[in-house]
Structure 1
Amino acid sequence: MQDLNASKQMPPADLHKVIRITAGFIIGSLLIAALYLGKDIFIPLALAILLAFLVDPLVMKLRGWGLPQMPSIFIVVGLALAILSGAASYLGYQLGQLSQELPQYQGTIQKKMDSIRQFARGPSVWDGAKTTIDTVENSIDDVVPEEKNPKVQQVKVVGQQQTTAEAVMAWSERVLNPLATAGIVFLFVILILVNRKDLHDRFLKLLGGNLNIGTDALDEAANRIGKYLRMQLMVNVTYGIPMALGLWFIGVPAAIMWGMVAIVMRFVPYVGPMISAIFPIALAFAVDPTWNMVLWTVGLILLLELVSNNIIEPWLYGGSTGLSTLVIIIAAMFWTAVWGPIGLILSTPLTACLLVLSSYVPSLGLIKTLIGSTPALAPHERFYQRLVADDVQDAMDVAQTFIAEKLPKDAMDEIKARRVNAFYAKVAIPAIRIFSSGHNTEASAEHRLRLHQGLKLFNHSF
């Protein structure tokens, strides 16, 4: 009865807001459950949509040259299939060659493992701690009474061995399932490219029939996702080619193959580069009797990672996705939990699509605030909040960032003075207006005191 009375006393606007939030959580939970349960359908469809974004500019280029739609689509899709099939065949051939050469490296591997064991058995700073732990464990074993019948015969359950037919079926299933998924993906790509305009019109209808907003949303999504995928491919190629050349110069076998593996694996965020680095390092460990090849390989990979992460990626990516770094990591964890490794690969493009959609659908404004890279508060709002929070140093950072944003490196004093005046006109004075509007209603006496003292310290320091 108390809850019912409370709901009756709640203002209609607040009640409507609670109902909207509750409905949003319910709809979101249902969508996540549908994505998880229907992943066998949604994963090929998502891969096909991203591939269509990637190859659509080539199709449009061929059509611009006067080629009809269907031949353009089949040429582009056939070219993609030929490239992927050729790369897969080369990788298979190189792996076969490498598997035949590996037995001759067993002696080198054994010698290095023996040297590592001898190094591990040598005296170290942890010997004292290890001796203490062993003494405590032995004391506990002495206190615990022994069982009356300690010698119990262990029983090992041996399962029934697979027949030849069952082994062939299991092997066929492991091979044919990925091939079937790849076939479905390319079929979806062809259908999406053929029905591109029809799907475009249907999505416009789903967005409410506003042709202006819907067109802008679709164009931004296509441009942003297509640019991200093309930039990702360029980053991977600029990493894989130097890696193949470097490994060939060092002497690591199958250097071209490891460069191709690096190009493919770097599409997997975070773990892909680590996985692609393990194989050449392990092969260098097995091939060279000394440690020189291993050290050179590790140094090459570290150098390429530094150049790629700090120079190539910031230069090519820029703000292509519009997602903050924290959101990219959280999205990777979420999509991996829902769709597994494929979800990890698709996490950034899918989240970028969600960001674009939230920018044009007012009811999804909360999602844009949470996952977007643009600041949630305007400069004058951030400046006011820092002062009210008694964080004068952060308020100084807001002011300095605003002033330096459009200031040339060797600016004259007159230009600097203009930027300072612009700060007071666009940031400081609007912040004081916020304070004035809520002086007697929202701001407490403590808030007023903090703002007054903060402005004094700010003006004195600034």
Structure 2
Amino acid sequence: MDLPRTLGRYGGVRDQPVPRPLIILVGIAAAVVALFGLREVASIAGPVVLALVLVIAVSPVRSRLDAMRAPIWIQVAVPFLIVVLVLVGMVGILTISITELTSLLPAYAPEFQQLLADAQQWATTHGISNDLLNRGLEAIDPGRVLGLAQGLLGSLIGVLSALFLIIVLLLAMCLDAPVTAKILTTGEGNRPQLVTALAMFAHKTRRYLIVSTVFGLINATLNVLALTLLDVPLPLLWGVLALIANYIPNVGFVISLVPPALLALLDGGVQTMVLVIAAYTVINVVTQSFILPKFLGDAVGLSTTMTFISLIVWTFVLGPLGAILAIPLSLLARAVLIDSDPRAGWVRALVSGSRPRG
């Protein structure tokens, strides 16, 4: 037996490259397993990611305090308190507003029934089958709407428990932030591409959050003013909803519009609903379509298609919190899987929707 020839033959087989379709299939399978695994622990993964994003958002405050040579406990306490006050304030506003909404909805039951009767009469005069209309109206029950509002009120207990977990995670991450920053700095020599990708992820996430928050506050303020002028109940609740929905790409505007428009229909009729829709549309078009792109630019680095896909995927994995964190989560996945690999230039261009360099 010729041992060198045998070894060479086996060595040649061993040195053959792995087929690219096999690599793609294994990568897709690994992604599916990871996503379904995250879905099983969504109650933990969601708060962890939210805490991480919030720590990244306030990291410039810690950096400024560090440049001023402030004590470590101040560098930890100030960013932590900023985030906690914002979270507690928003949860407090939502709790009070949803409580008021729960007590307010039963008063609109007669208007709701009258609205359904008018719609049925209009449909009958235009030749629409009563059986078809009745089956559609059976799904619209004011009792179900009230039950939904009561369910929202009951779910606030879960929100408060998640808030406690988020605050604990925030404290832990704020304590570790100075050490983590030093570790990343020392890692530039060993894995410069990964360190650069993570730094770019933090920068893009922070810019996205700052710009989205500023324009979300502008949108929310203008919406509250418009709803107040139109005498729509609970304008503060719908303003907070508009602020939160501003972080949801593509469909956030519709989510923030539907509840106040329906309440305007019950409270003031079709004319009030049309005015609410018109006001929301004008405000959204001016701020989101004309002004926001000039400030945000290509900071996100995701194409329109990838943004929509990320919204679907992360909502499936983490629920409503995944919809809010879709952009930061996609930026994190891009940093770890794509930007850290210098050979993935074409994938980076495909994800961002721009031409590859070179």
TM-score when normalising by structure 2 = 0.78
Deviation at 1:217, TM superposition (A): 2.5
Amino acid in the other structure paired with 1:368: R
- Corresponding residue to 1:328 among 291, 307, 315: 307
SS, match of residue 253 in structure 1? coil
For 1:255, the equivalent position in structure 2 comes to: 235
**Cα distance in structure 2, aligned partners of 1:183 and 1:92:** 15
SS, match of residue 362 in structure 1? coil
Change (3 A) 1:85 1:339: closer
**Cα distance in structure 2, aligned partners of 1:299 and 1:176:** 35
**Cα distance in structure 1, aligned partners of 2:89 and 2:156:** 18
For 2:163, the equivalent position in structure 1 comes to: 182
Change (3 A) 1:37 1:200: farther
Amino acid in the other structure paired with 1:73: V
Amino acid in the other structure paired with 1:318: G
- 1:234 counterpart = 2:214: yes
User: Residue 345 of structure 2 contacts residue 356 of structure 2 at CA under 8 Å; is this kept in 1?
Assistant: no
- 1:94 counterpart = 2:68: no
Question: Percent identity over the alignment?
Answer: 20
Deviation at 1:365, TM superposition (A): 5.1
For 2:147, the equivalent position in structure 1 comes to: none
For 1:264, the equivalent position in structure 2 comes to: 244
Amino acid in the other structure paired with 1:266: N
Amino acid in the other structure paired with 2:257: A
Superposition map of 1:121-200 within 5 A = 121-124=124-127, 174-200=155-181
Change (3 A) 1:286 1:365: same
User: Residue 235 of structure 1 contacts residue 312 of structure 1 at CA under 8 Å; is this kept in 2?
Assistant: no
- Corresponding residue to 2:282 among 303, 312, 318: 303
For 2:261, the equivalent position in structure 1 comes to: 281
**CA RMSD, 1 decimal:** 3.5
Cα-to-partner distance string for 1:139-173 (whole Å, 9 max, x where unaligned)? xxxxxxxxxxxxxxxxxxxxxxxxxxxxxxx9999
- 1:375 counterpart = 2:346: no
SS, match of residue 195 in structure 1? helix
- Corresponding residue to 2:88 among 85, 104, 108: 85
Cα-to-partner distance string for 1:211-239 (whole Å, 9 max, x where unaligned)? 64344333212111111111111121121
Amino acid in the other structure paired with 1:344: A
- Corresponding residue to 2:118 among 115, 120, 130: 115
Change (3 A) 1:363 1:189: farther
Cα-to-partner distance string for 1:393-419 (whole Å, 9 max, x where unaligned)? xxxxxxxxxxxxxxxxxxxxxxxxxxx
User: Residue 193 of structure 2 contacts residue 339 of structure 2 at CA under 8 Å; is this kept in 1?
Assistant: no
Deviation at 1:329, TM superposition (A): 1.2
Deviation at 1:362, TM superposition (A): 3.4
For 2:190, the equivalent position in structure 1 comes to: 210
Amino acid in the other structure paired with 2:300: T
Amino acid in the other structure paired with 2:235: A
Moved more, 299-308 or 368-377: 368-377
- 1:339 counterpart = 2:318: yes
Moved more, 272-281 or 47-56: 272-281
**Cα distance in structure 2, aligned partners of 1:101 and 1:359:** 51
**Cα distance in structure 2, aligned partners of 1:110 and 1:31:** 48
Change (3 A) 1:271 1:212: closer
Change (3 A) 1:369 1:14: farther
Deviation at 1:15, TM superposition (A): 4.0
Deviation at 1:325, TM superposition (A): 0.8
**Cα distance in structure 2, aligned partners of 1:291 and 1:20:** 56
**Cα distance in structure 2, aligned partners of 1:119 and 1:22:** 55
Change (3 A) 1:352 1:286: same
Change (3 A) 1:94 1:198: closer
SS, match of residue 325 in structure 2? helix
Change (3 A) 1:339 1:364: farther
Runs of 4+ in 1 over 6 A off after TM superposition: 7-11, 170-173
Amino acid in the other structure paired with 2:170: V
TM-score when normalising by structure 1 = 0.62
Superposition map of 1:292-441 within 5 A = 292-357=271-336, 358-362=338-342, 367-376=347-356
User: Residue 204 of structure 1 contacts residue 211 of structure 1 at CA under 8 Å; is this kept in 2?
Assistant: no
What count of residue pairs does the alignment treat as equivalent? Answer: 330
User: Residue 193 of structure 2 contacts residue 342 of structure 2 at CA under 8 Å; is this kept in 1?
Assistant: no
Deviation at 1:65, TM superposition (A): 4.2
User: Residue 204 of structure 1 contacts residue 214 of structure 1 at CA under 8 Å; is this kept in 2?
Assistant: no
Cα-to-partner distance string for 1:327-384 (whole Å, 9 max, x where unaligned)? 1111222222222222222221121123233223236556424423321476xxxxxx
Superposition map of 1:13-24 within 5 A = 13-15=16-18, 24=27
For 2:203, the equivalent position in structure 1 comes to: 223
User: Residue 204 of structure 1 contacts residue 210 of structure 1 at CA under 8 Å; is this kept in 2?
Assistant: no
Change (3 A) 1:248 1:8: same
User: Residue 265 of structure 1 contacts residue 273 of structure 1 at CA under 8 Å; is this kept in 2?
Assistant: yes
Change (3 A) 1:68 1:230: same
**Cα distance in structure 2, aligned partners of 1:303 and 1:246:** 11
**Cα distance in structure 2, aligned partners of 1:286 and 1:93:** 21
User: Residue 248 of structure 1 contacts residue 256 of structure 1 at CA under 8 Å; is this kept in 2?
Assistant: no
**Cα distance in structure 2, aligned partners of 1:318 and 1:198:** 32
**Cα distance in structure 1, aligned partners of 2:153 and 2:257:** 30
**Cα distance in structure 1, aligned partners of 2:112 and 2:36:** 48
Structure 2 alignment gaps of length 5 or more = 1-9, 133-150
**Cα distance in structure 2, aligned partners of 1:253 and 1:18:** 57
User: Residue 51 of structure 2 contacts residue 166 of structure 2 at CA under 8 Å; is this kept in 1?
Assistant: yes
